Structure 1
Amino acid sequence: MSLRALLPARSDYDLRPRTFGADLVAGLTVGVVALPLALAFGVSSGVGAAAGLVTAVVAGIVAAVFGGSGVQVSGPTGAMAVVLAPVVAQHGLGSVALVTVLAGVVVLVAGALRLGRLVTFIPWPVVEGFTLGIACVIFLQQVPNAVGVPATAGLNPAVAAWRSVTAAAASADTATLWTLGAAAAVAAVMLVLQRVAPAVPASLVGVALVTVLAEALHAPVARIGALPASLPLPVLPSASAGALRDLLGSALAVAALAAIESLLSARVAATMAAGTGSVYQPDRELVGQGLASVASGLFGGMPATGAIARTAVNVRSGARTRLAAIVHALVILAVIYLATGPVGRIPLAALAGVLMVTTTRMIPARTVLRVVRASRSTAVVFAVTAVITVAFDLIEAVEIGVLVAAFFALRAVAGAAGVHREPLPGPALPGDEHVALFRLEGAMFFGAAERVLSQVSEDSRRDGVSVVVLRLSGLRMVDATGAKALAELVQELERRGVTVLVKGIKPAHLGLLRTVGVLDELRDERHLFASLDDAVEHARSHVARAAAAARPGVR
């Protein structure tokens, strides 16, 4: 791929009236849906509602222009809020800008190095387990805001949620009841409207209704607070050597999550938008997301990723080009300049209700059932990834999930590798009992080589076998360990006086087998055959010569 393919092009847009109108409608729809989510994710991350709005605007526009998906919508997400919250707790709010810019640079470099396809190596159960874990973490993080008891910084979300609930139950004062009622009311409105009027932006309606009631009744609930009435000016974050050293690990974790989530979202979006002409370029997507996070950090925002929920709304609303995502960001920008006063009066509990309902839609129950029923190993990978996501760390969850999936995959491949002793072709002849024909199949690699070849060694010890024919044409893959084990088997058999004939080495395996010494261990270079009939004929003649030499009087 050329450098030009990573940059914006005129073909990214279609300004014909019909397409332009569809993009405008889709962008307005997504902007209305994204507003409460941007506020909620900003609050949930610990950075603040204002940072959520800034990220939705700045990163939303930059990622739309430079990204590799025609319909992807980017901005603050729940997964990023989960990763960012402990960074804020440990290093303070001032660290966010530097972490955001550093993470953006890492993602940008990954795109320039053409690493976008690496996401395809993440197994399906890991993705779904990660999504379920993120949903659980986001839900637990909202519990303190929903009951009106702030969470203790640095605690696991489950522990913090439990402590907040017990503290709220112990007090059960008027403020607690109002706060809990606000969260429940928003959730109820969203669930009802989802059923009776799915086209209505339920989250916005719920938040607006609860905010109006809270204002009218002077409810004692915590609010978002003052918001800036304009975008801040871009500022380079301070980057001392000590700060870079302390925050590099956090930046790499944020970058990994940004890349993974954005590419997964873009891949899903490409499937949803099939037939619309929308393209998906993973390397360009990383470049766009990297630039988006850098820009967001300069404006005081948080790291951005592709947002699958908003992207899905965008596609379903008729988006055709990246203009829809740009319009979505401009809608939120208009709110910053025209309506920050009313937005600042939104109860935090209302945003908690929005996110609690949103998490229930992140992974449908039918998807969980499909994963669990697929196979036992798939269910284990899914469960391990989800549990580690909730209990420990998101990046560790993906890493361990991939390792567990790789273990099961290797075990399956090793189980498919085998060796079978076969009868010699054609009518049985005297002396055939001294010839053993073994067919090796599957993958001869480090996970299976010892088991497979030890079986050949043991079987060849019985029945007075003097010639072993190894049929290798059924091997699909041979690694260095498998080739070395095969050389050691030939060496052992030849040392015991058993002649080894090798048939059917594939051209792709020949160089490796020669390098590790398999062919050198054969008694004669003519013991390598392309035809099974020729190999068996040679084995029978060898047995016949040995039998004749053993008869009395034969010299």
Structure 2
Amino acid sequence: MTRTSAPSRAPLTPTSPSRWSTVPADLLAGVTVGVVALPLALAFGVSSGVGPAAGLVTAVVAGIVAAVFGGSRVQVSGPTGAMAVVLAPLVAIHGADAVPLVAIMAGLMVLALGAARLGRVVTFIPWPVVEGFTLGIATIIFLQQVPAAVGVDAPAGQNPLVAAVDVIGRAGDTVLWTLGTVAVVVTLMLVLPRLWAALPASLVAIIVVTVVAELVDAPVARIGALPDSLPAPSIPGITPALLGELAGPAAAVAALAAIESLLSARVAATMPSDTLTDDARRYDPDRELVGQGLASVAAGLFGGMPATGAIARTAVNVRAGARTRLAAVVHGLVILVVIYAATGPVGQIPLAALSGVLMVTAVRMVDVRAVRTVLRSTRGSALVLVVTAIVTIAVDLVQAIVVGLAVAALLALRALSRASVVHRQPLPGPAADGDEQIALFRLDGSMFFGAADRIAETVQRDHGARVVVLRLSGLRLVDATGAHALAELVGTLERSGVTVLVKGVQEQHRSVLTRVGVLDELASEQHLFEDLDAAIAHARDHVARPRP
């Protein structure tokens, strides 16, 4: 059966559009994202303890500034769940008035990271750490909504898991109303997209429960009064003592903002899209940090909270057909219109409705397939994911990343150490008299601090010969500790009357071996060989001589 040639295929990515041809698509995408982002901005503002107005202000100001100055053309920025998780304990300790100052301080730190061109650092975060971090954040966001879902205020600063368990036992008289509100919102958010994918399910769900709550005068807590305009920019009150107290939290916020924003930009660059061009996919991580830093500073000046790139809203932006920065700018303008024209109705939204939105959002944050893949891959990767998630939930988000990286690094070093081995090999060629007095060892892998002592001990323990030949051509890495261990091994053998011959020093290792003194420990410069046959011939000649 003959096979006909396949027809030529169109490029996977579209060609670059003209300057004005993208405007309609960007306007539509921006409106779509703005509608989706509105309930999230309100919810994250409430969840963080700063208030819904701060969430709206941050979505507008930070969203527009990051869109203009950031390094991604399709990234959408604003308040996020991860940032709300970090800010909640900060608000409990220092109050909501400290958040704008933290936003400015953290923004300047992120700006400095971008200016120092450290945007590529995020690529060193292992996949299991990212998935564990996301799983932990999603769990915290979900747990934080339990108090509002049962109509009880949680104690400020309490661990979300402890608070969730505590409030369930203290559910008030309005629990049926609040749980019913959450149930309706969750149901609509799950069902509506199946009926009409383009429908903004979260906004529709909030509108439905708000109208019903108004009609029946439901006894549920509402958002309350909101400002009907943007506040004037101002510098928060600053004292040296306050700066000292907030330096640590600001550094944690900056680290989170940088990591989350760069991860979001990287995800956006790889998302499948029929409209996203190669140019639109490219992003500059250093410029992204600069843009996110400026966005948090601007949000702080307007009384808002720190902002980051938002993966969920960025994904909506890409799927809606965004091609340029205009879409993210329009998203901010849409929310600005709501501030000036609809804060009255927005203030009547039940807090339990926002909790329902965030519960669904938290569940959707977790990529179940990715988590399952990591857990099934290797025991080490599964351990990193689980440890990172537990530390995120029980301790702190930034510490979770540090701990996750530390565990991943230890496991990587352990694997590298196990891959570094020493073999005793038979001598090449026909056997000769005296061969039993010659020990040939081949060192493979890495001679580094995690394996150096073990390799040296193996050679010392397993030779019993007059001549030891060390084959180093199989070494891929030699660090200072490994070179020092080799120097001590050679020196110990030489002092015990064993002649050491070294074969196959690679050019990239010669410098460290020379500086640390490995070659100086050899009895003669002639004991350094490039050819194995020459080294074995020299060893046989040596053992053929009578002992001195």
TM bracket, shorter-chain basis: over 0.9
Are residues 1:25 and 2:24 paired? no
Q: C-alpha distance in 1, partners of 2:23/2:445?
A: 54
Q: Which residue, out of 407, 410, 416, partners 1:407?
A: 410
| Number of corresponding residues | 529
Determine the structure 2 residue equivalent to 1:194. 193
Determine the structure 1 residue equivalent to 2:4. none
C-alpha offsets along residues 408-443 of structure 1, whole Å, 9 cap, x if unaligned?
A: 000000000000111112222222111111110101
TM-score by length of structure 2 reads 0.95
Q: Which residue, out of 61, 80, 83, partners 2:83?
A: 80
For residue 238 of structure 1, report the CA deviation from its aligned partner: 1.2
Are residues 1:431 and 2:429 paired? no
C-alpha offsets along residues 178-209 of structure 1, whole Å, 9 cap, x if unaligned?
A: 11111111011001113332221110010010
Are residues 1:385 and 2:388 paired? yes
Amino acid at match of 1:404: V
C-alpha offsets along residues 147-195 of structure 1, whole Å, 9 cap, x if unaligned?
A: 1101110110011111111100xx4x2x221111111110110011133
Map 1:72-471 onto structure 2 (within 5 A). Answer: 72-168=75-171, 171=172, 173=173, 175-272=174-271, 276-277=277-278, 278=280, 279-461=282-464, 465-471=465-471
TM-score by length of structure 1 reads 0.94
Map 1:478-489 onto structure 2 (within 5 A). Answer: 478-489=478-489
Amino acid at match of 2:277: T
Determine the structure 2 residue equivalent to 1:553. none
Are residues 1:45 and 2:45 paired? no
For residue 358 of structure 1, report the CA deviation from its aligned partner: 0.6
Are residues 1:518 and 2:518 paired? yes
C-alpha offsets along residues 462-495 of structure 1, whole Å, 9 cap, x if unaligned?
A: xxx1111100011000111110000000011111
Q: C-alpha distance in 2, partners of 1:312/1:544?
A: 75
Q: C-alpha distance in 2, partners of 1:136/1:405?
A: 22
Kept in 2: contact 1:76–1:304 (CA 8 A): yes
Determine the structure 1 residue equivalent to 2:57. 54
Amino acid at match of 1:181: G
Q: C-alpha distance in 2, partners of 1:14/1:115?
A: 32
Q: C-alpha distance in 2, partners of 1:15/1:396?
A: 46
For residue 26 of structure 1, report the CA deviation from its aligned partner: 1.0
Q: C-alpha distance in 1, partners of 2:302/2:18?
A: 30
Amino acid at match of 1:201: P
C-alpha offsets along residues 114-136 of structure 1, whole Å, 9 cap, x if unaligned?
A: 01111111111011000000000
Determine the structure 1 residue equivalent to 2:73. 70
For residue 97 of structure 1, report the CA deviation from its aligned partner: 1.0
Kept in 2: contact 1:28–1:331 (CA 8 A): yes
Q: CA RMSD in A?
A: 1.2
Once the two structures are overlaid, the 10-residue window that deviates more, 319-328 or 35-44, is: 319-328
Kept in 2: contact 1:259–1:286 (CA 8 A): yes
Identity over aligned residues, as a percent?
68
Determine the structure 1 residue equivalent to 2:532. 532
Amino acid at match of 1:487: A
Q: C-alpha distance in 1, partners of 2:380/2:88?
A: 32
Q: C-alpha distance in 2, partners of 1:407/1:126?
A: 13
Determine the structure 2 residue equivalent to 1:36. 39
For residue 15 of structure 1, report the CA deviation from its aligned partner: 6.0
Q: Secondary structure at the match of 1:520?
A: helix
Q: C-alpha distance in 1, partners of 2:454/2:166?
A: 53
Q: Which runs of 5+ in 2 are unaligned?
A: 1-15
Once the two structures are overlaid, the 10-residue window that deviates more, 94-103 or 426-435, is: 426-435
Kept in 2: contact 1:14–1:321 (CA 8 A): no
Q: C-alpha distance in 1, partners of 2:495/2:266?
A: 56
Q: C-alpha distance in 2, partners of 1:14/1:360?
A: 37
